[in-house]
Structure 1
Amino acid sequence: MSGFDVSSSERYSGLLLLEVTPARGPAGAIEVVERRLRSFIDAIGAGFFFPARLRPSAPLELWVAGASVHGRVDVGDLPVTALGVLAGMLADGRHREAFIQSARAVLGQREFDLLIDSGVRPAMPESPPFEVEFPEDMGGNYALLVEIEFAHPVPPDVGQKLLSTLALWAPLTLAYPLDPDVPMEVGGAQAMFNDPRTIHYHEWIWDNADADAWDLIVNLCCAWHETLPIVRLHFE
């Protein structure tokens, strides 16, 4: 991998408070910020920051007050470096006419300025409980294929939920640009089960995106593995 430092050594459990204020601009900026916060929070619950989870002690709250978007959620074992993903997602807004005036996250007694991107992202586990295959060289390839092979056939209704969860990865990749001054181009995703045991996920456009974003899929598969054993995760 390359580009970003990765670490998940420091974790936080408790209330996570978020407040983001877009700069004055297009009327849709609030909606863009709201979608980014929703995607980030949903990603915590889905397992992209494994072993982080959403705790049921306090319900998720996401609301708009005045010119700001606020979020409040109870998290467990959240890598503090996950805030770098949110900071990167918000920073990408400048390429979508959604400039940010201020953004902060509060974890207990600590406050983080999300306009300052540390450049550190959550790491995948050192020893995932399944085989992980990375390409030795992308070779100028501007598309991405991911295959996730389960140990047993996945029921169709469960499979559809997995595919919907995997779709959350796309907005997270906005935090992984190779060049932050160039808009990310990731899209055209197709996700399906090639057979009852194998997910085939294809991003037709994978440009200016750092491969460190793959760590999030490894994390997601670790979360899935707890109830649906996985034997192989393949990237090319």
Structure 2
Amino acid sequence: VAAFSMSACAHHINTDSSELDAARTAIAEAKAAGAENCAPKLQAQAVASLYWAAHELTEVGYHPEENSELIARAEAKAKEARSQAKINCAPKPKPVAKPKVVEIIKLSGVNFANNSAELTPASISILDTAVATLKRRSDIIVEIAAHTSSRGAAAYNLSLSNKRAASVKDYLISHGVSANRLSSKGYGETQPIAVENNLADEAINRRVELRVMN
């Protein structure tokens, strides 16, 4: 109520006193930071405290200690309004567009030892073919994506798939594919391509793919 009363008669109150310099400056800085639009409640409280303090300076029976509290409140609220305005007025970050998969190269037959990221001997010839493809198509950027079945704990499957994707990446790099063209990521059991009713379905979901990203 007092704040609204002060706002109503603000044009009758002189706020030029040197005692109010710090509070006036803080309010001006908050205004410049956009507080009137982005932190209006705090800015209004600061202004109301300033005018109340200015009013008290003219009153009979003036109490310096009480007025110093009003002045300090005005300054504090203005500083709070300025800080809040910087947050509220800050432009919203633009969402970063995720790279789109433009092609998937399936590496059918790339397998690993049970509960391991160790490539099986039968996987080598398939990866050697992938090496040749990547060298021939030297302009493409590739994510190596590894997937598991839903057998076992989800967290374990995610960790295992990350290790398996990294294992394939290491193989490709060791055979001459530039590291800056490759990234690896495990998806665990989150992207199945078959409903798992039996072991054959699980085997379908356990897979490695090269995802062309450009």
More relative contact order, 1 or 2 (CA 8 Å, 6+ apart) = 1
TM over 0.5: no
- TM bucket (normalised to shorter chain) is under 0.3
Please give the TM-score of this superposition, normalised by the length of structure 1.
0.24
The structure with more helix, counted as a fraction of residues: 2
| TM-score (norm: length of structure 2) | 0.26
